[in-house]
Amino acid sequence: MPARKGRLDPTELDGVEARNRIESGALSAEDLARACTGLIGAHEEPVHAWAYVDASDVIEQARAMDSFRKSGRPLGSLHGLPVAVSDLVDVRRMPAGRGNVLDAANRVANDAWVVSRLRAAGAIVAGKAATSECGVPVAARTRNPHDSERSAGAAAAGCAAAVALRVTPLAVAADPGGSLIQSASYCGVTGYRPTFGTAPRTGTLQTAPSVSTVGAIARTVPDVALLGDVISGYDPGDPDTQACPGPRLLDIATAVPPVVPHVALLKALPGIDTYDDCAEGFGELSHVLGSHCDEIDLPPIFAEAVGACEQVVQAELAASLRHYAERAADVLDEATREFIERGRRVSAPDYLAAKNWREILYTGLCEIFDRYDAIVVPAAPGEAPLHDKFIDPTRFNAIWTLTGVPSVTLPLLQGARGLPVGVQVVGRRYFDGRLLRTARWLANLVAGVPDTTFESAQRGI
């Protein structure tokens, strides 16, 4: 729905600003919801970002949020904000199709842990975003919002596309093996993959539990920090989470750093090729960073991460999806069947040996993090490929996925066709707030936006 002449279009607002306007009464949750859902009809047919969405339900939720605000009671941190939720994540009374025809009629009675947290924070569950079949790292049906002939990624494709189209300011994506970062890069939005074990996965389809997580997609770093605070925590139902204080991501991400960040710049990964335009973009990025970065190369041993991560993801995915293959393998996509078959061929000794690389490689990364605030590296080989030339995200993000470190991708570069190319910023485990703070500084520096955070740090404040 276009904004009236002279009137602010709510879909142009970032999540933090929209939340603040709703809290002050300058914007109603219903106006935001109507503006967002009004975009669905214009974009859904060529892009296919949604597996399920009900505009009338979104508006009804928004009216309830407006009534709640008028009652004078305290508001949650996401009050009135529409949030897209991956179809791999359970939402009560909504279809849980998980990207495959076998679950198309499936509905669940309970919310996933993260969805319960969204509701408690006052968020509006906008609907279920489309995903690849069962979250397998194969191309989702979702097309790139910048070019419908090109891919939007895999498991997180619908979430990234919905945010890029401004149909929703925020999205919660399940990430089995790096697809969140890939999809955000292809669609030109900000994606945040938290430290493994900090975002509970209870109520999500976990295809690779040793590496899978739940993450946030939005348009800015503060927005993914805002959402990250809500979806992080301890859940007894997820054995990989720990009881610890909340991460305070938004507070740290928007705070003044004690010193100007100094980052390690990786133009390429061992054994992985990038496209020429991506390499050229990172050359320009190195120039912009100047003395605030050192160009480094990872030791060749890090090339082992590719095979190790693929074996872990493939073996666990084959085990997780075994019942689908046994029930009706013929209705699964050929790419999905092939992925499951590769997983079945991974032997137990090879699988266990692959998992052992996790701590070995993380020890090597810690030596880098002892000297630098973060690692800056391509989020994908380059622009989004044609839909039928999809690239497995597990391969390109293997090091970060396998070691469980937090990462965030920023839409800072453009490729030869003018499509987005993401810049990924990677940090030490459990230092997610500092990572997001560094990412925000980098985004402002590249954009040439006056940044009081950066200027204050230069003065030593």
- CA distances to 138, 141, 184, 362, 406 from 329, rounded to whole Å, are 16, 19, 30, 37, 35
Residues 6 or more apart whose CB falls under 8 angstroms from that of 211 comprise: 176, 177, 196, 309, 312, 313, 401, 402, 404
Residues 6 or more apart whose CB falls under 8 angstroms from that of 45 comprise: none
| Ranges 2-6, 203-207, 426-430, most confident | 426-430
Whole-number pLDDT of residue 121:
98
**Alpha-carbon torsion (52, 53, 56, 61), positive or negative:** positive
Whole-number pLDDT of residue 328:
84
Q: 379 is written with which tokens?
A: 């989020």
Rounded to an integer, what distance in angstroms lies between the CA atom of residue 313 and that of residue 211? 8
Name the residue with higher pLDDT: 1 or 301: 301
pLDDT confidence of 8, banded at 50, 70, 90?
confident
pLDDT tens digits, one per residue of 257-268: 889 999 999 998
pLDDT confidence of 452, banded at 50, 70, 90?
low
Q: 353 is written with which tokens?
A: 């040996």
Rounded to an integer, what distance in angstroms lies between the CA atom of residue 361 and that of residue 403? 7
Check pLDDT > 90 for residue 454: no
Give the percent of the chain with pLDDT over 70: 96
Give the mean model confidence (pLDDT) for residues 300-329. Answer: 93
pLDDT tens digits, one per residue of 285-302: 999 999 999 999 999 999
pLDDT tens digits, one per residue of 103-155: 998 999 999 999 999 999 999 999 999 999 999 999 999 999 999 999 999 99
Give the mean model confidence (pLDDT) for residues 44-68. Answer: 96
- For the chain, what is the mean pLDDT? 93
Whole-number pLDDT of residue 2:
45
Which residue has 């060529």 as its token pair? 46
pLDDT confidence of 404, banded at 50, 70, 90?
very high
CATH numbers and ranges of domains, the chain:
10-251 (3.90.1300.10), 263-458 (3.90.1300.10)
Whole-number pLDDT of residue 329:
81
Edge-to-edge strand order for the sheet containing 420-426?
50-53, 124-129, 82-86, 170-175, 213-218, 190-193, 407-414, 420-426, 374-378, 263-265, 293-295
Whole-number pLDDT of residue 458:
40
**Alpha-carbon torsion (299, 305, 306, 308), positive or negative:** positive
Whole-number pLDDT of residue 171:
98
Rounded to an integer, what distance in angstroms lies between the CA atom of residue 352 and that of residue 363? 18
Rounded to an integer, what distance in angstroms lies between the CA atom of residue 375 and that of residue 425? 6
Answer yes or no: are the C-beta atoms of 178 and 398 closer than 8 Å: yes
Q: Among 267-271, 304-308, 385-389, name the one with the lowest average pLDDT.
A: 267-271
